[in-house]
């Protein structure tokens, strides 16, 4: 079973019955029960299997009404029954979307619980379509905190879909960028990212740390930064890494999106061979997926933190990747990274090592965090998530939630530090 | 002796032994090694010790040693993976040859999470002229008694004998990282065969992990031994390439593993023909584990 200790029910239902849109068309009936006879009639109604009614508030004593959630497909039957049996009722909520848009916290919780028994299993890997649908759902469920930011389309014309978490009401605030899925086969990264999306939405207003961060800063989250590659790992080749752009003059497809950033482009740790898995591309930001993110961040102008999720190796790293020499802020970044690693280890004992990209992993010029750092985003980190090579890219699904939970602790540590510094 | 600033693996929850005691065993091993190494160092000088070898390089060398160890042990129920490097020294000479002196911890490669035992190994690894197939001298603490290991191998062998053959086009693990319990023995045996290949191919600059069994060509058990012909996808870390390798192994519990392989290297301008073959000769069994 999959649950969120903050009581936000990140459930693991594998039964996909109704679409979210339909659920939001459900209504809440308030039914008055004046005597024993009416109570038994209400029970009769509640017990009919096919109507799928849900009792939100039971009539504790006579004279107190019952609140019943009626699915959109049962509305007509329920109304007929109530009218036929002379039961007094009123429709208190015409559609659940309005509840979510309202201030009624208690009702909201009920609605979200309802919506929770939906399709998305956080403890499993999903297609791009399913992830995007769940992102839609999160936006719908938390309309005042979360908005959809569609920054453009990939090479094969798939949506580059970003979630924005903001309490800022339109004003542009200092921001944090969370990136995942640049490398298509690193499935644990998008899986972790979508869990984090839901977690942020759930925990706002409950968890001191994230609530405080969101009071001052906006969070942008891109769970699938390379949608074409991700789809390709589902349809053709589970171990594909790059984008799916065409290379003129070559039969080989794709560029390594984490060598394509405009920072020491084409240096050590890259290849100029289009067939290589580390091909840097014809020029910086040649990949539309990279360009869209870089341009968005540059245009926004006030990002303070950039974190890129990858797998595998269990590392928390900071710039530089293009060389092994230390970045100017390496001392501070090292401490922050170490604190993050400690936080991550505190949950399940998973050990993450810490260091600069170049000295810990390998040379990698033109990577995302080097670019972020060179463009004024001091707190630039890249994570290599589980594991250390045992299952490698095909990390079993039962490790998704533990990985996401520990990663979240690491991210919070970093974001908290950033918040205190700005 | 130069104990470098190698981050020791942090104490796991429940590990209350004092740090000094946890170090005691590896230090002893190291001291023992020093005595041996002093007399065994190659004559041709020009060995410059790397004062601060990167943890990445040491891990690579340790893995190569472990691949070799697993191959020689030929025990699919007793495969070990690298936990962390406790101490390591590295030297390089003018011919660009590398040698390492290592002490590292290992974990048992097991499905059951309950048993999480750490072993310790000491190893000397010698890479010649960027060529693969490092010479390895490795000793590991006995994680399980020989009798138990042989018994478990035999149990695994019996399970394998019962497996029905047509396993064509089965990817293990599947895309979601799942390995069906009945297919676990296949995975273990494949890992054993891959260990040989990965040892053979490791250089100071290239190191490998087993990703997925992409197909099983043959699984024969009519005579006594298991005859296993499969393709495995190896992940080379520094180039991030996926290398398909066709491996054919023959295994019988307690006997040395026989392996033949052929890897499909990606054509690169730097490399030559790009294909590689290798085979094992019948080996004498090591008796120290």
Any CB–CB contact under 8 A between A125 and chain B?
yes
Tokens coding A336: 């922050």
Measure the CA angle with vertex B40, ends B39 and B44; round to 5°: 105
Residue of B nearest to A363 (CA): B238
Confidence label for B21 from pLDDT (cuts 50, 70 and 90): very low
The per-residue pLDDT for B24 is 40
Q: Taking residues A267-273, what's their average pLDDT?
A: 96
Known catalytic residue at A289: no
Name all domains of chain A by residue range, CATH numbers in brackets. 27-94 (3.30.70.340), 127-245+254-420 (3.40.630.10)
The per-residue pLDDT for A128 is 96
Any CB–CB contact under 8 A between A412 and chain B?
no
Report the distance separating Cα B14 and Cα B19, nearest Å: 13
Q: A227-235 and A128-141 are packed helices; what angle lies between their axes, rounded to 10 degrees? A: 130
The per-residue pLDDT for B4 is 35
Tokens coding B230: 């499969």
Q: B55-73 and B184-201 are packed helices; what angle lies between their axes, rounded to 10 degrees? A: 120
- Name which of B242, B256, B258 is nearest B210 in CA terms: B242
Interface contact flag, B175 A233, Cβ < 8 Å: yes
A395 with B177: CB under 8 angstroms?
Answer: yes
Annotated catalytic residue, options A38, A134, A384, A416: A384
pLDDT tops 60 at residue B29: no
Select the residue of B9, B177, B239 nearest A397 (Cβ to Cβ): B177
Residue of A nearest to B191 (CA): A390
The per-residue pLDDT for A410 is 98
* Interface size between A and B, measured as CB pairs under 8 A: 78
Q: Taking residues A92-108, what's their average pLDDT?
A: 79
Least confident of A97-106, A404-413, B236-245: A97-106
The per-residue pLDDT for B6 is 36
Report the distance separating Cα B89 and Cα B4, nearest Å: 8
Radius of gyration of chain B (CA): 19
Any CB–CB contact under 8 A between B54 and chain A?
yes
Task: Give pLDDT tens digits for B250-268.
Answer: 999 999 999 999 999 875 4
Q: Is B180 left (phi over 0), alpha (psi -120 to 50) or beta?
A: beta
CA distance A213 to chain B (A): 30
A316 with A335: CB under 8 angstroms?
Answer: no
Q: Which residue has the higher pLDDT, B171 or B14?
A: B171
Q: Which of B176, B207, B233, B266 should be substituted to probe chain A, the one whose Cβ sees the most A Cβ atoms within 10 Å? A: B176
Q: Taking residues A187-199, what's their average pLDDT?
A: 97
pLDDT tops 70 at residue A270: yes
Sequence spans of domains, chain B:
48-275
Q: Which residue has the higher pLDDT, B51 or B32?
A: B51
Interface contact flag, A345 B240, Cβ < 8 Å: no
Confidence label for A118 from pLDDT (cuts 50, 70 and 90): low
Q: Taking residues A42-64, what's their average pLDDT?
A: 81
Tokens coding B255: 């006997």
Interface contact flag, A362 B56, Cβ < 8 Å: yes
CA distance B178 to chain A (A): 6
Q: ipTM of the assembly?
A: 0.80
Any CB–CB contact under 8 A between A396 and chain B?
yes
pLDDT tops 70 at residue B95: yes
Q: Which residue has the higher pLDDT, A308 or A59?
A: A308
Any CB–CB contact under 8 A between A335 and chain B?
no
Beta strands in chain B (DSSP E): 48-50, 80-92, 98-108, 118-127, 135-140, 208-220, 226-236, 242-251, 258-264, 275-279
Chain A residues within an 8 Å CB radius of B173: 391, 394, 396
Any CB–CB contact under 8 A between B176 and chain A?
yes
Any CB–CB contact under 8 A between A3 and chain B?
no
Helices (H) and strands (E) in chain B, counts: 4, 10
What share of chain A has pLDDT > 90, as a percent? Answer: 68
- Name which of B230, B227, B284 is nearest B255 in CA terms: B284
A130 with A118: CB under 8 angstroms?
Answer: no
pLDDT tops 60 at residue B273: no
What phi, psi does B218 have (nearest 5°)?
-155, 140
The per-residue pLDDT for A189 is 98
Select the residue of A273, A353, A362 nearest B269 (Cβ to Cβ): A273
CA distance B269 to chain A (A): 9
Task: Give pLDDT tens digits for B48-61.
Answer: 998 888 888 999 99
Q: Which residue has the higher pLDDT, B116 or A362?
A: A362
The per-residue pLDDT for A52 is 83
Q: Which residue has the higher pLDDT, B130 or B66?
A: B66
Burial class (CB in 10 A: 0-12, 13-18, 19+), A365: buried
CA distance A345 to chain B (A): 9
Beta strands in A273-378 (DSSP E): 303-311, 315-318, 353-356
The per-residue pLDDT for A15 is 36
The per-residue pLDDT for A61 is 67
Tokens coding A379: 């707190």
Report the distance separating Cα B128 and Cα B38, nearest Å: 20
What share of chain B has pLDDT > 70, as a percent? Answer: 72
Tokens coding B207: 């190191």
The per-residue pLDDT for B167 is 64
Asked if omega into A287 is within 30° of 0 (cis), the reply is no
Confidence label for A213 from pLDDT (cuts 50, 70 and 90): very high
Residue of B nearest to A276 (CA): B241
- Chain-wide mean pLDDT for chain B? 77
Any CB–CB contact under 8 A between B267 and chain A?
yes
What Å distances lie between residue B165 and A99, B168, B180, B187, CA to CA? 58, 8, 15, 15
Could you tell me the strand order of the sheet in which A218-222 lies? A146-153, A159-165, A218-222, A175-180, A303-311, A379-385, A315-318, A353-356
Residue of B nearest to A312 (CA): B237
Report the distance separating Cα B277 and Cα B289, nearest Å: 29
Tokens coding A161: 């879909």
Residue of A nearest to B56 (CA): A360
Q: What share of chain B is helix, strand, coil (3-state, %, to 5)?
A: 25, 30, 40
Mean pLDDT: which of A11-25, A51-65, B96-110 is highest?
B96-110
CA distance B267 to chain A (A): 9
Interface contact flag, A353 B56, Cβ < 8 Å: no
Structural domain B48-275, CATH architecture: Roll (3.10)
Chain B residues within an 8 Å CB radius of A256: 240
The per-residue pLDDT for B282 is 30
Residue of A nearest to B81 (CA): A390
Confidence label for B32 from pLDDT (cuts 50, 70 and 90): very low
Q: Which of A394, A398, A399, A402 should be substituted to probe chain B, the one whose Cβ sees the most B Cβ atoms within 10 Å? A: A394
Residue by residue, DSSP assigns A118-170 as: SS--TTS---HHHHHHHHHHHHHHSTTTEEEEEEEE-TTS-EEEEEEE-SSTT
Confidence label for A121 from pLDDT (cuts 50, 70 and 90): confident
pTM, to two decimals: 0.81
Report the distance separating Cα A35 and Cα B73, nearest Å: 79
């Amino acid at each position: 079973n999959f649950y969120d200790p903050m009581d936000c029910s990140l459930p693991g239902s594998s039964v996909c019955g109704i679409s979210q849109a339909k659920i939001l068309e459900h209504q809440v009936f308030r039914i008055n029960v004046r005597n024993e006879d009416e109570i038994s009639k209400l029970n009769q109604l509640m017990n009919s299997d096919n109507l799928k009614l849900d009792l939100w508030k039971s009539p504790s004593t006579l004279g107190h009404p019952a609140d019943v959630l009626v699915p959109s497909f049962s509305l007509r039957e329920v109304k007929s029954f109530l009218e036929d049996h002379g039961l007094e009722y009123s429709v208190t909520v015409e559609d659940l979307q309005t509840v979510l848009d309202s201030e009624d916290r208690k009702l909201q919780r009920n609605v979200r619980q309802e919506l929770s028994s939906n399709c998305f299993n956080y403890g499993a890997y999903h297609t791009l379509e399913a992830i995007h649908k769940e992102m839609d759902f999160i936006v719908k469920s938390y309309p005042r905190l979360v908005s959809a930011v569609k920054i453009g389309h990939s090479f094969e014309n798939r949506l580059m879909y970003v979630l924005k978490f903001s309490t800022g009401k339109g004003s542009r605030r200092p921001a944090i960028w969370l990136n995942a899925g640049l490398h298509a086969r690193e499935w644990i990264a998008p899986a972790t990212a979508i869990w984090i999306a839901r977690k942020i939405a759930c925990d706002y207003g409950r968890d001191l740390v994230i609530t405080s961060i969101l009071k001052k800063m906006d969070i942008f989250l891109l769970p699938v930064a390379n949608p074409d590659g991700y789809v390709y790992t589902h349809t053709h080749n589970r171990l594909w890494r790059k984008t799916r752009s065409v290379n003129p003059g070559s039969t080989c497809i794709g560029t390594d999106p984490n060598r394509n950033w405009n920072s020491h482009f084409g240096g050590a740790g890259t290849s100029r061979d289009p067939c290589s898995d580390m091909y840097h591309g014809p020029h910086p930001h040649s990949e539309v997926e990279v360009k869209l993110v870089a341009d968005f961040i540059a245009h926004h102008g006030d990002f303070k933190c950039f974190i890129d999720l990858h797998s595998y190796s269990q590392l928390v790293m900071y710039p530089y990747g293009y060389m092994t020499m230390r970045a100017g802020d390496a001392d501070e970044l090292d401490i922050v990274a170490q604190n993050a690693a400690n936080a991550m280890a505190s949950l399940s004992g998973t050990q993450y090592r810490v260091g600069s990209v170049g000295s810990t992993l390998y040379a990698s010029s033109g990577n995302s965090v080097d670019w972020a750092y060179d463009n004024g985003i001091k707190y630039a980190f890249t994570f290599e998530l589980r594991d250390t090579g045992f299952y490698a890219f095909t990390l079993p699904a039962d490790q998704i939630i533990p990985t996401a939970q520990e990663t979240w602790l690491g991210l919070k540590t970093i974001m908290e530090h950033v918040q205190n510094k700005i | 002796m130069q104990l470098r600033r190698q981050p020791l693996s942090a104490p796991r929850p429940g590990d209350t032994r004092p740090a000094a005691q946890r170090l005691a065993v590896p230090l002893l091993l190291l001291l023992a090694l020093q005595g041996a190494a002093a007399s065994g160092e190659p004559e041709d000088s020009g060995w410059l010790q790397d004062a601060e070898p990167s943890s990445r390089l040491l891990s690579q060398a340790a893995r190569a040693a472990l691949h070799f160890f697993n191959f020689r042990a030929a025990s699919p129920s007793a495969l070990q993976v690298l936990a962390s490097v406790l101490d390591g020294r590295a030297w390089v000479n003018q011919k660009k040859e590398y040698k390492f002196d290592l002490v590292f911890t290992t974990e048992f490669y097991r499905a059951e999470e309950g048993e999480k035992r750490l072993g310790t190994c000491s190893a000397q690894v010698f890479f010649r002229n960027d060529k693969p197939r490092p010479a390895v001298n490795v000793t590991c603490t006995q994680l399980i008694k020989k009798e138990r290991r042989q018994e478990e191998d035999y149990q695994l062998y019996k399970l394998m004998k019962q497996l029905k053959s047509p396993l064509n086009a089965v990817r293990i693990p599947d895309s979601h990282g799942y390995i069906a319990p009945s297919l676990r023995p296949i995975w273990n045996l494949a890992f054993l065969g891959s260990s040989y290949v990965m040892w053979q191919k490791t250089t100071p600059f290239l190191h490998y992990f087993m990703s997925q069994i992409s197909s099983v060509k043959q699984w024969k058990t009519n005579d006594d031994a298991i005859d296993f012909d499969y393709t495995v996808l190896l992940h080379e870390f520094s180039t991030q390439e996926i290398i398909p390798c066709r491996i054919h192994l023959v295994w019988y519990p307690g006997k040395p593993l026989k392996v033949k392989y052929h890897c499909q290297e990606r054509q690169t301008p730097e490399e030559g023909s790009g294909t590689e073959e290798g085979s094992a000769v019948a080996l004498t069994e090591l008796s120290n584990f």
